[in-house]
Amino acid sequence: MGLPIGYDLLFYLRVSMPHLVAPSLLSADFADLKSAVRVVDESPAPWLHIDVMDGVFVPNISFGFPVIKAIRPLTKKVFDVHLMIVRPENYITAFRDAGADLLTVHIEASPHLHRTIQGIKTAGMKAGVAINPHTPVAALEEVLADIDLVCLMSVNPGFGGQQFIQRTYQKIEDLAELRKRTGSKALIEIDGGVSTGNARQLVHTGADVLVAGNSVFAAKDPAGAIRELSV
Ligand code: DX5
Ligand code: ZN
């Protein structure tokens, strides 16, 4: 557990695989999280995507520290924790202690984003920034070189199983260009409405990480769905 400091995610990805899959626990059976984590643990997906919602930043409440802590001993996979909460800066060390390896905050919830990113890195985690569908990629310009991941929301955050927003393809292209221009090594993660129907095109357009909730855990064969999304 815990990514080594200085570990270059983009480099790792480029040399080892074309993209990586991060199954989202949000669509799993909450009464049997152990089995869901086991499916991911035994799969080729190197990350587990964990959605934390507060009912304030988004109109839904999911789970928090105790659940993350409880599943942490079950797998060594990277815990990719997506905070859909207000004041994420108040909980950085608490999420680190619960087991987060990579902590993603929303730009829309972070008036002092630069400080929050530094705080996440100082706490020993990788830092990600998520942007909602209405937020332009250009809003990331001043922080892109400092972060490890950009989470492009391809649905409005709050719920699993929503329809993918097509405009995301253009945002991936814009972000890839901005990444080049700023010398950033941030991974491009796509979150929302990812399925076997669009995974290939997303990777082809420039996605590095595919979050998949419904298309994995609502599938008859979740392990098979992860394998399909991984190739
Ligand atoms: C939505 C969450 C997503 C969600 C994706 O607000 O951030 O991670 O689990 O679910 P699907 O893949 O079902 O759209
Ligand atoms: Zn998410």
Domain with residue 184: its CATH number is: 3.20.20.70
Euclidean distance between CA atoms 55 and 230, whole angstroms: 32
Tokens representing 212 are: 């998949």
Average pLDDT by consecutive 10-residue portion of the chain (231 residues)? 52 70 98 98 98 98 98 98 98 98 98 98 98 98 98 98 98 98 98 98 98 98 98 92
Does any domain span residue 199? yes
Q: Return the pLDDT at 206.
A: 98
Sign for the pseudo-dihedral over CA of 74, 162, 226, 152: negative
CB 95 within 8 A of CB 104: no
Does the annotation mark 191 as catalytic?
yes
Looking at residue 18, its pLDDT comes to: 79
Does the C-beta of 128 come closer than 6 Å to ligand 1? Answer: no
Query: Kindly report the CA angle at 136 between 134 and 139, in degrees rounded to 5?
Result: 125
**Which residues, in sequence order, are CB contacts of 99 under 8 Å at separation 6+?**
1, 68, 69, 71, 72, 79
Spatial CB neighbours of 201, under 8 Å, sequence gap ≥ 6: 169
| 2 occurs within a structural domain | no
Residue 99 covered by a domain: yes
Decide if 4 is inside a domain: no
pLDDT at residue 6, as a whole number: 47
Q: What is the pLDDT of residue 3?
A: 52
Number of domains in the chain: 1
Residue of minimum CA distance from atom 1 in ligand 1: 157
Instruction: Work out whether the CA dihedral 52, 56, 59, 60 comes out positive or negative.
Output: positive
Pocket lining: 157 vs ligand 1, CB cutoff 6 Å: yes
Contact 150, 11 (CB under 8 A): no
- Out of 25, 27, 47, mutate this one to test ligand 1's pocket (max ligand atoms within 8 Å of CB): namely 27
pLDDT at residue 139, rounded to an integer = 98
User: Residue 123: inside a domain, yes or no?
Assistant: yes
Q: Which of 53, 84, 191 to mutate to test the pocket of ligand 1 (most atoms within 8 A of CB)?
A: 191
146 is catalytic: no
Q: Domain residues for 167?
A: 9-230
Residue 3 lies in a domain: no
For residue 22, the model assigns a pLDDT of 98
| 184 occurs within a structural domain | yes
